Homo-oligomer: A and B are copies of this chain.
Amino acid sequence: MQAEGATAYADAARASDAVGFEREDAERTLSLTVSYNGGPFCGFARQPGKLTVQGELEQALSLVMRRPVEVVCSGRTDAGVHALGQVVSFNVSVKELESRSLYSLRRSLNALTHEDITVRTVEEREPGFSARFDAQWREYHYHICLDDTPPLFMRDFSWFVHADLDIPAMQQAARYLEGEHDFKSFCMAASAVGKPTCRNVHEISLSRETIMGEEVLTIKVVGNAFLHSMVRTIVGTLVMVGRGLRKPEWVSKVLEACDRTAAGENAPAAGLVFWKVQY
Contacts and interface: CB of A to CB of B under 8 A. Distances in A.
A21 interface: no
A147 B110 CA distance: 14
Given A84-B213, A212-B84, A37 B110 contact: no
A37 B118 contact: no
Nearest to A36: B152
Interface in A136-178: 147, 149-153, 155, 157
Copy number in this complex? 2
A83 to B, nearest CB: 9
A242 interface: no
Summarize A's interface: helix, strand, loop or mixed. mixed
Interface string A91-113: 00000000000000010001000
B211 A212 contact: yes
A130 interface: no
A60 to B, nearest CB: 14
Given A85-B213, A157-B212, A275-B213, A110 B149 contact: yes
A277 to B, nearest CB: 13
B211 A211 contact: yes
Nearest to A103: B148
Interface of A: 35-37, 82, 84-85, 106, 110, 116, 118-120, 147, 149-153, 155, 157, 211-213, 273, 275
12 contacts: A35-B149, A37-B152, A82-B153, A84-B153, A84-B212, A110-B150, A116-B152, A118-B149, A211-B211, A211-B212, A213-B273, A213-B275
